[in-house]
A and B are shown apart, each in its own frame.
Chain A
Amino acid sequence: MSETATPSFPKHLLDFRDWNRRQVESLLETAQMMQEVLARPVKKVPALTGFTVATVFFEPSTRTRISFELAARRMSADVVSFSGTTSSTVKGETYRDTLRTLDQMGIDAYILRTDAAGVPHQAHRWLRKPVINAGDGWRAHPTQALLDAFTLREKLGSLEGKKIAIVGDILHSRVARSNAELLPLLGATVVACGPATLLPGSLPGATLTTHLREALHEADAVMVLRLQKERMEKGLLPSLPEYIAAYQITHERLGWARPGAPLLHPGPMNRDVELEGTLADSPQSLVERQVANGQAVRMAVLYHVLVGKS
Chain B
Amino acid sequence: MKGEILIKNVKLVDGRGLHGRADVLIGEGRILSLSGGEAQTEMDATGMILSPGFFDPHAHLREPGQEVKEDLQSGLTAAARGGYTDVVSMPNTSPVVDSAEIVAALKKKAAQIGRARLHPAAALTQGQEGKALSEAHLLRAAGAIMLTDDGRTNEDAGVLAQGLLYAASWGLVVAVHAEDAGLRRSGVMNEGEVSFRLGLPGNTSYAESARIARDLEVVRYVLDRLTAKAPPDRLLHIQHLSTKRGLELIRQAKQEGLPVTTEVGPHHLTLTDEALNGLNPLYKVAPPLRTQRDVEALIEGLLDGSINCIGTDHAPHTADEKALDLLRAPFGIPSLEVCWPLLYTELVEKRGFPLEVLVARFTDGPRRILGLPPLHLEEGAEASLVLWDPNTQRPVELQTFASKARFSPWAGWALQGWPVCTWVEGRMVFGAMENEGVG
Contact mask for chain A residues 82-103; partner B; CB cutoff 8 A; 1 contact, 0 none: 0000100110001110000000
A73 to B324 CA separation, bound complex (whole angstroms): 31
Q: Is there contact, CB below 8 Å, between B196 and A116?
A: no
A233 to B19 CA separation, bound complex (whole angstroms): 63
Question: Given A94-B320, A139-B199 in contact, is the A118-B193 Cβ separation under 8 Å?
Answer: no
A172 to B327 CA separation, bound complex (whole angstroms): 14
**Which residues of the partner chain B approach A174 to less than 8 Å between Cβ atoms?**
199
| Docked complex: A222-242 residues within 8 A CB-CB of B | none
How many residues in A have their beta carbons less than 8 Å from beta carbons of B?
A: 27
User: Residue B229 at the A interface, CB < 8 A?
Assistant: no
Q: Is there contact, CB below 8 Å, between B325 and A122?
A: yes
Of the residues B192, B199, B278, B320, contact of A137 by C-beta under 8 Å: B199
Q: Is there contact, CB below 8 Å, between B200 and A201?
A: no
Q: Is there contact, CB below 8 Å, between B326 and A177?
A: no
Of the residues B198, B280, B324, contact of A94 by C-beta under 8 Å: B324
**Which residues of the partner chain A approach B111 to less than 8 Å between Cβ atoms?**
none
Q: Is there contact, CB below 8 Å, between A177 and B328?
A: no
User: Residue A217 at the B interface, CB < 8 A?
Assistant: no
**Which residues of the partner chain B approach A202 to less than 8 Å between Cβ atoms?**
193, 196-197
Q: Is there contact, CB below 8 Å, between A117 and B279?
A: yes
Question: Given A121-B279, A122-B279 in contact, is the A96-B323 Cβ separation under 8 Å?
Answer: yes
Q: Is there contact, CB below 8 Å, between A139 and B325?
A: no
**Which residues of the partner chain A approach B328 to less than 8 Å between Cβ atoms?**
86, 89-90, 116
User: Residue A204 at the B interface, CB < 8 A?
Assistant: yes
Q: Is there contact, CB below 8 Å, between B324 and A201?
A: no
A177 to B194 CA separation, bound complex (whole angstroms): 12
How many residues in B have their beta carbons less than 8 Å from beta carbons of A?
A: 20
A86 to B325 CA separation, bound complex (whole angstroms): 10
User: Residue A78 at the B interface, CB < 8 A?
Assistant: no
Among residues of B, the one whose C-beta sits closest to the C-beta of A17 is: B277
Q: Is there contact, CB below 8 Å, between B327 and A116?
A: yes
Of the residues A89, A90, A118, contact of B279 by C-beta under 8 Å: A118
A208 to B234 CA separation, bound complex (whole angstroms): 47
User: Residue B14 at the A interface, CB < 8 A?
Assistant: no
User: Residue B71 at the A interface, CB < 8 A?
Assistant: no
User: Residue B70 at the A interface, CB < 8 A?
Assistant: no
**Which residues of the partner chain A approach B197 to less than 8 Å between Cβ atoms?**
177, 202-204
Contact mask for chain B residues 194-227; partner A; CB cutoff 8 A; 1 contact, 0 none: 0011111100000000000000000000000000
A90 to B329 CA separation, bound complex (whole angstroms): 10
| Docked complex: B319-374 residues within 8 A CB-CB of A | 320, 323-328
**Which residues of the partner chain A approach B179 to less than 8 Å between Cβ atoms?**
none
CB distance from B148 to the nearest CB of A (A): 28
Question: Given A201-B196, A204-B197 in contact, is the A94-B278 Cβ separation under 8 Å?
Answer: no
Contact mask for chain B residues 179-197; partner A; CB cutoff 8 A; 1 contact, 0 none: 0000000000001110011
Among residues of B, the one whose C-beta sits closest to the C-beta of A180 is: B197
Question: Given A122-B279, A201-B192, A201-B193 in contact, is the A116-B325 Cβ separation under 8 Å?
Answer: yes
A3 to B326 CA separation, bound complex (whole angstroms): 33
**Which residues of the partner chain A approach B279 to less than 8 Å between Cβ atoms?**
117-118, 121-122
CB distance from B324 to the nearest CB of A (A): 6
Of the residues B193, B196, B200, B324, contact of A89 by C-beta under 8 Å: B324
A201 to B327 CA separation, bound complex (whole angstroms): 20
| Docked complex: A129-143 residues within 8 A CB-CB of B | 137-140
**Which residues of the partner chain A approach B320 to less than 8 Å between Cβ atoms?**
94, 96
A114 to B279 CA separation, bound complex (whole angstroms): 14
CB distance from A120 to the nearest CB of B (A): 8
Question: Given A139-B200, A177-B199 in contact, is the A201-B191 Cβ separation under 8 Å?
Answer: yes
**Which residues of the partner chain B approach A139 to less than 8 Å between Cβ atoms?**
198-200
Question: Given A121-B279, A122-B280, A201-B191 in contact, is the A114-B196 Cβ separation under 8 Å?
Answer: no
User: Residue A115 at the B interface, CB < 8 A?
Assistant: yes
Q: Is there contact, CB below 8 Å, between A137 and B200?
A: yes
Q: Is there contact, CB below 8 Å, between A137 and B327?
A: yes
Q: Is there contact, CB below 8 Å, between A121 and B278?
A: yes
User: Residue A200 at the B interface, CB < 8 A?
Assistant: yes
Question: Given A121-B278, A201-B191 in contact, is the A138-B327 Cβ separation under 8 Å?
Answer: no
**Which residues of the partner chain B approach A96 to less than 8 Å between Cβ atoms?**
320, 323
CB distance from A6 to the nearest CB of B (A): 29
Of the residues B193, B196, B325, contact of A119 by C-beta under 8 Å: B325
A286 to B327 CA separation, bound complex (whole angstroms): 34
A94 to B321 CA separation, bound complex (whole angstroms): 8
Q: Is there contact, CB below 8 Å, between B326 and A94?
A: no
Most chain A Cβ neighbours within 10 Å, of B279, B280, B328: B279
A177 to B324 CA separation, bound complex (whole angstroms): 23
Among residues of B, the one whose C-beta sits closest to the C-beta of A205 is: B197
21 sample A-B contacts, Cβ–Cβ < 8 Å, listed by A number: A89-B325, A89-B328, A94-B320, A94-B324, A96-B323, A117-B198, A117-B199, A117-B279, A117-B325, A118-B279, A118-B281, A119-B325, A122-B281, A122-B323, A122-B325, A137-B326, A138-B199, A139-B198, A174-B199, A201-B191, A203-B196
**Given known contacts A89-B324, A122-B280, A172-B199, what 10 new A-B pairs fall within 8 Å (CB)?**
A115-B327, A116-B325, A117-B198, A117-B326, A121-B278, A125-B280, A139-B198, A139-B199, A140-B199, A201-B196
